Chain A
Amino acid sequence: MKRCVYNFLAPFTLLITLSSAGAAQSQSDENNTADATRTGTISGQVVNDSGQPLANALVGIRAYLVGEPGRTTTTDSEGKFQVSGLDPVVYLVSASFPAYVSAPRDPDINPIGYYRVGDSVRLEMVKGGVITGTVTRSAGEAVVAMPVRAYLIRDSKGQPSRYGAPFREQTTDDRGVYRIYGLQSGTYVVAASGGSSSGYYVSAYGTDAPTYAPSSTRDNATEIYVRSGEETANVDIRYRGEPGHAVSGIASSTVTADQPPEFSVTLSSSFNGASQSSYSSYQPGGRGFSFYGVADGDYDVIAQSYFPGGEWVVSEPRRIKVRGADITGIELTAKPLGSITGRVVLEESKAPECKGKRRPLFGETLVTPWHNEKNAPKDQPQFVWGLGGPTLPDKQGDFTMRNLAPGQYRFNARPMAKYWYLKSISWPASVTSGAKTPAANRPVDAARNWTTLKPGDRFSGLTITIAEGAASLHGQIDLAEGQKLPAKLFIYLAPREREKADDILRYFAFLVSADGSFALNNLPPGRYWAIAQAAGENDSNVLSKLRLPDEAEARAKLLHDAEAARIETELKPCQNVTDYRLPFR
């Protein structure tokens, strides 16, 4: 029962796609004294899309740490909440309210998915969409107590579901009617699918293959677009009741432990880029894992297990083809994932302007690994990337990123202090294989190069340097007479100094507000080219993209454009520029 968590991860996946430095901070950090021991409060309000408070909403606050149980509270009649006694680390804050969904967070507008002590949080929720219909047999009689699931296959931006399509489920009533509510905007497929038996309860349909609306297999399922707040009715299902097949096998682990682990086995299928998964838990010594009611098709089966202390073992995905018969005897061997240890180093400034400024707390400096999505193994079920999330350094600044699936990684760390910036991310010369060149006695820039992790690799020595002396640049876009502000206008900074041209961490992109204002913070001091450019309609997470190791061309183009525009600015250590005017032509 402990392992049935994977679908609950889905709400957090949005929050995991964090952006990097350069965005506005809600707090003034001027001269605050940092105290890693003082506890504090996170407060806020939950509102609907027209700003009305939502009372009795459930709010969860969870420290960004593995194994943290988190705290919950409910909002008062004004939609407000407050949780005190929180350690000074960074937190995920989420709200739930029946029939509502969280308003989508635009990573360009609100790049921070997390909060810290003292923050005030506004959580906006919108009424979810509804899909309703009737499940009947061919002769028209109602199918009663049948679980019906709406799988989100693409979100409102058309992006396929990354972690296995999240679903919501309701059962039909005595008339065969189901009503699934609280759906976020997006494209769904709807299936009447079995449910499962346990030793306590016999499911009538548990061994049937799912029937997708209107009356088909997954291949011919009708896609249903749902808008939040709207109802899509008459999504009827003519239930086929065709027997599915059983898929079974056993799992083992290369790691020996005091106690045999409990495995979670995932069976997932991919269809047009979206993956759909079902799960089976399994303890060694029993009959192994088994899935029932599996329709014909291609699937990946993967076993994983969790060891006390936070380590996961995961098997290679096994591709199976179900064609009209059961599949038995699958053997899966779970192996440890990779890990990276390192240290966050604080580098103080000697500039007199920077004297007495607040230092960042290690507990607030979230270190995030990002895998290279372009280069990711195609058959790797997406949830695997969710096992190795961001981590927080300890009091000495040491951190461990565990459970990293094989692949290519880059990293980010965000200083939560106004006058500090992310200076460098580097490996010692000898650690990664890519560094074994004759001239490689220098550290390797882990911001500009992917770090390739093979199964079970344990790298150590990643150094993340956070330096004092950050400047800020706030100001306004100057438009020509009669010119309108484009919908997605970005202000970009590119390094002016030639020797910094390869320093990825000196490239910035920030979305200009609707009123033409902008606020860039945590900027390394130095000389920059500044330019305003409109982003394309479908460009999302512009800054994140700009800093991809493979986007050298995009950076070169930006640098070229910015050089041509010849708007130069120099930022002194700890300088706050407040009335900068940047022309947009």
Chain B
Amino acid sequence: MRLPAPLAIVSALLLCCAGFCQHANSQTNPAKKNPEATVSGRITIKGKPAPGVVVGLRSSQPARFAPTFKATTDQDGDYRISDVPAGSYEVAPVAPAFVIADANNSRGQTVVITEGENVEGIDFELVRGGVITGKVTDADGNPVVAERVNLLPADQRNQRGPVYPVGLNFQTDDRGIYRMFGIHPGHYKVSSGQGDDNFYNGAGRGRPAYATTFYPDATDPAKATVIEIDEGTEASKIDITLSPAVPGFSAGGRVVDESGKPVPNVGIGLSRIIMIDANNSSSSGGGTGARSDKQGEFRLEKLPPGKYSISIEPPEESDLRGDPVTFDLVDQDVTGLLIKSSVGASLSGVVVLDGAKGNSVIAALAQSYVFISAYTRNEALHFTSGQSTRMKPDGSFRIGGLQAGTAGFSIDAQGRIKGLTISRIERDGVVQPNGIQIQNAEQVTGIRVIVTYGNGSIRGVVKVENGTLPAGARLIIQPTKPGDPLANLRAATADSRGHFLVEGLAAGNYELRVIAYVPGSRTKESARQAVSVTEGAATDVIVTIDLTPIPNP
């Protein structure tokens, strides 16, 4: 698996689940050891009870195989989700034609639950979402079929992310007609056409036929007609006439090895680089489906003008690597791009578990899909790249195809094993607090990735002093480990009651601080509070945050 991949994986999974596969998940609760908690509340629409609404509960740290829970509201609009193990969850109604009225919690509420607790009053007021419907045609008036339609908020500056009801995306049907629903009240622009930003679409589909076009027929988002959606309103005849895509140009070149010999049959990856401003850029891309031929030559057709980065995508388990080559397509074809590939550096060693439980957990790990990733940062090139591999049953690993630079590691058990964190990295028995320096093509052995499996936790309540948190404020609880700045500990979010849960901590001493994010005002931080965690147990704490305004100097 090549990096950066996490996004690609997640989207592939979602597609997969929607269409074809049923994954092992949900509702198979482990054998009951302790009394399980319940979460209950009421769903209302305009203050009236809403029966028959499904309310879902998922982990605050979702993962592919994490269980989910649900319940349906009764005649009084009441629901009760039972048999929930202690933990931190997100609760939301699954009612796609409706939206949550509270704009501050429009995606649901965080609920932190302790063992056997009955959390009540997790209520939601729903309003009917808006609808936008229309037809997408080409310049000749022919319907454009199976074309995705996007909704963009027109209120916020420079925000380009679409807002969908969870789990839905909208496409035109065989008549070119689309119907988007469950839209929050607000101002929107509607666009269709895959456009240049998604030019390769990940699956080697090649260049889409249409440019991104905004209702009614603008390719410039600034010229889009803004649509206003109120609660439950329907905007119809939002017809879009798609502009054809710019013809585009080709980019060709060669992949060679260190001695200049052609490298055949290697995949070509391409990223489009979008300059946000002079100093910032974003890029998106992936495999193109193109491969180098016997002469090492490749050619990509029909690329829209723009800035690109081209790279090789070596097969899995290959040590081949190549620095990406950046080029601009302006008004003509580009030829002669030269991707120099070389045998990359490698890191090999073993994953070791700290603590007494080592063997049983390692055995569980071996049966599971644990991926070890190494990232190297090349300061001279300002470029971070990484590779990932699956850990072998004996804990050993070898990650090849790395660039020179400073290497760091990460570990991912796909949510199957909670609380797995890397506590330190050793090379030939020496701790490497600042990462491992690797040279070009260096084959580094003797790495020990020391992992802690933490089954301790900190649960607590945030106490607010000298003020109240306004609506929309968020409390984030950040744990740190004194003396170990590299410990990568995940922050937790407090629920509406100020309850929080930090899970997966190994025994030891930690510090907590609370950060209060208040919309439109300065971020507040609490003092650090020392907490001691013991194995397999939860430590209860109260953390105080003082909201006294900071006097201006």
* B16 pairs with A4, CB closer than 8 A: yes
Contacts of B282 in A (CB 8 A): none
* A259 pairs with B393, CB closer than 8 A: yes
* A259 pairs with B25, CB closer than 8 A: no
* A198 pairs with B20, CB closer than 8 A: no
- Residue-by-residue, is B1-28 near A (CB-CB < 8 Å gives 1, otherwise 0)? 0000000011011101111111111111
**Is A282 part of the contact surface with B, judged by Cβ < 8 Å?**
yes
* B24 pairs with A289, CB closer than 8 A: yes
* B22 pairs with A169, CB closer than 8 A: no
**Is A292 part of the contact surface with B, judged by Cβ < 8 Å?**
yes
Given A74-B206, A145-B96, A181-B173: A200 in contact with B62 (beta carbons within 8 A): yes
* A246 pairs with B27, CB closer than 8 A: yes
* A4 pairs with B20, CB closer than 8 A: yes
Given A1-B9, A69-B289, A199-B25: A259 in contact with B206 (beta carbons within 8 A): no
Q: Report Cα–Cα, A39/B265, bound state, in Å.
A: 13
**Is B131 part of the contact surface with A, judged by Cβ < 8 Å?**
yes
Contacts of A128 in B (CB 8 A): 174
- CB A289 to nearest CB in B, in angstroms, measures 5
Contacts of A73 in B (CB 8 A): 206, 301
**Is A560 part of the contact surface with B, judged by Cβ < 8 Å?**
no
Task: Count B-side interface residues using an 8 Å CB cutoff.
Answer: 75
Q: Report Cα–Cα, A288/B302, bound state, in Å.
A: 46
Given A169-B19, A195-B18, A196-B17: A56 in contact with B59 (beta carbons within 8 A): no
* B70 pairs with A202, CB closer than 8 A: yes
**Is A287 part of the contact surface with B, judged by Cβ < 8 Å?**
yes
* A287 pairs with B14, CB closer than 8 A: no
Given A69-B289, A202-B70: A181 in contact with B181 (beta carbons within 8 A): no
Given A72-B205, A173-B179: A98 in contact with B94 (beta carbons within 8 A): no
Q: Report Cα–Cα, A262/B16, bound state, in Å.
A: 16
Contacts of A173 in B (CB 8 A): 179, 181
Residue of B nearest to A259 (CB): B390
Q: Report Cα–Cα, A509/B496, bound state, in Å.
A: 78
* B174 pairs with A204, CB closer than 8 A: no
* B65 pairs with A144, CB closer than 8 A: no
* B25 pairs with A196, CB closer than 8 A: yes
- CB A361 to nearest CB in B, in angstroms, measures 16
**Is B168 part of the contact surface with A, judged by Cβ < 8 Å?**
yes
Q: Report Cα–Cα, A130/B94, bound state, in Å.
A: 29
Which stretch from A115-123, A273-281, A401-409 is at the chain B interface? A273-281
**Is B364 part of the contact surface with A, judged by Cβ < 8 Å?**
yes
Contacts of B174 in A (CB 8 A): 98-99, 128, 130, 179, 181-182
Residue of B nearest to A146 (CB): B96
* A174 pairs with B131, CB closer than 8 A: yes
**Is B57 part of the contact surface with A, judged by Cβ < 8 Å?**
yes
Which stretch from B149-157, B365-373, B456-464, B530-538 is at the chain A interface? B365-373
Given A198-B25, A288-B24: A145 in contact with B168 (beta carbons within 8 A): yes
Given A179-B173, A204-B54: A174 in contact with B179 (beta carbons within 8 A): yes
**Is B64 part of the contact surface with A, judged by Cβ < 8 Å?**
yes
- CB A466 to nearest CB in B, in angstroms, measures 27
**Is B67 part of the contact surface with A, judged by Cβ < 8 Å?**
yes
- CB A182 to nearest CB in B, in angstroms, measures 7
* A201 pairs with B209, CB closer than 8 A: no
- CB B141 to nearest CB in A, in angstroms, measures 15
Q: Report Cα–Cα, A18/B301, bound state, in Å.
A: 34
Contacts of A198 in B (CB 8 A): 13-14, 17, 23, 25, 64, 68
- Residue-by-residue, is B30-60 near A (CB-CB < 8 Å gives 1, otherwise 0)? 0000000000000000000000101011110
**Contact check: which of B17, B92, B94, B182 meets A174 at CB < 8 Å?**
B182
**Contact check: which of A72, A197, A246 meets B204 at CB < 8 Å?**
A72
**Contact check: which of B21, B26, B94, B369 meets A292 at CB < 8 Å?**
B26
- CB A30 to nearest CB in B, in angstroms, measures 28
- CB A2 to nearest CB in B, in angstroms, measures 9
Contacts of A197 in B (CB 8 A): 25-26, 56, 68, 70
Residue of A nearest to B293 (CB): A85
Residue of B nearest to A56 (CB): B209
Given A182-B174, A202-B94, A259-B392: A4 in contact with B206 (beta carbons within 8 A): no
Chain A residues 188 to 213 lying within 8 A of chain B, measured CB to CB, are 195-207
* B416 pairs with A286, CB closer than 8 A: yes
Q: Report Cα–Cα, A200/B108, bound state, in Å.
A: 13
Contacts of B147 in A (CB 8 A): 98
Given A58-B205, A58-B206, A144-B96: A260 in contact with B22 (beta carbons within 8 A): no
**Is B145 part of the contact surface with A, judged by Cβ < 8 Å?**
yes
* B65 pairs with A287, CB closer than 8 A: yes
**Is A352 part of the contact surface with B, judged by Cβ < 8 Å?**
no
Q: Report Cα–Cα, A99/B22, bound state, in Å.
A: 26
Q: Report Cα–Cα, A448/B108, bound state, in Å.
A: 68
- CB B335 to nearest CB in A, in angstroms, measures 16
Given A174-B182, A199-B64, A203-B94: A98 in contact with B146 (beta carbons within 8 A): yes
**Is B224 part of the contact surface with A, judged by Cβ < 8 Å?**
no
Report whether over half of chain B's contact residues are helix, strand or loop; otherwise say mixed. loop
* B289 pairs with A71, CB closer than 8 A: yes
Residue of A nearest to B183 (CB): A174
Q: Report Cα–Cα, A260/B291, bound state, in Å.
A: 30
**Contact check: which of A69, A170, A201 meets B14 at CB < 8 Å?**
A201
Q: Report Cα–Cα, A73/B17, bound state, in Å.
A: 27
**Is B166 part of the contact surface with A, judged by Cβ < 8 Å?**
yes
**Is B97 part of the contact surface with A, judged by Cβ < 8 Å?**
yes
- CB A224 to nearest CB in B, in angstroms, measures 17
- CB B64 to nearest CB in A, in angstroms, measures 5
* A74 pairs with B65, CB closer than 8 A: no
- CB A276 to nearest CB in B, in angstroms, measures 13
**Is A285 part of the contact surface with B, judged by Cβ < 8 Å?**
yes
**Contact check: which of A72, A199, A278, A279 meets B206 at CB < 8 Å?**
A72
* B24 pairs with A199, CB closer than 8 A: no
Chain A residues 268 to 312 lying within 8 A of chain B, measured CB to CB, are 278-292
Contacts of A258 in B (CB 8 A): 392-393
Q: Report Cα–Cα, A289/B207, bound state, in Å.
A: 39
* B367 pairs with A284, CB closer than 8 A: yes
* B27 pairs with A292, CB closer than 8 A: yes
Residue of B nearest to A99 (CB): B174
- CB A370 to nearest CB in B, in angstroms, measures 28
Contacts of A3 in B (CB 8 A): 21
**Contact check: which of B10, B57, B205 meets A202 at CB < 8 Å?**
B57
- CB A320 to nearest CB in B, in angstroms, measures 16
* A285 pairs with B416, CB closer than 8 A: yes
**Is B467 part of the contact surface with A, judged by Cβ < 8 Å?**
no
* B145 pairs with A281, CB closer than 8 A: no
**Is A66 part of the contact surface with B, judged by Cβ < 8 Å?**
no
**Contact check: which of A144, A174, A200, A283 meets B58 at CB < 8 Å?**
A200
**Is B415 part of the contact surface with A, judged by Cβ < 8 Å?**
yes
Q: Report Cα–Cα, A203/B54, bound state, in Å.
A: 9
Interface centre among A39, A179, A196, A197 (most CB of B within 10 A): A197
Cβ-closest 9 pairs across A and B? A202-B56, A285-B367, A199-B66, A174-B181, A181-B174, A98-B145, A98-B146, A285-B368, A204-B54
Q: List 14 A-B contacts (CB under 8 A).
A: A39-B294, A144-B97, A173-B179, A196-B22, A198-B64, A200-B13, A202-B26, A203-B94, A204-B56, A207-B27, A258-B393, A259-B390, A280-B23, A290-B22
Given contacts A201-B167, A262-B369, 13 further A-B contacts (CB under 8 A): A1-B9, A6-B20, A56-B209, A69-B291, A98-B174, A196-B25, A246-B28, A260-B368, A279-B20, A286-B24, A289-B24, A290-B24, A290-B28
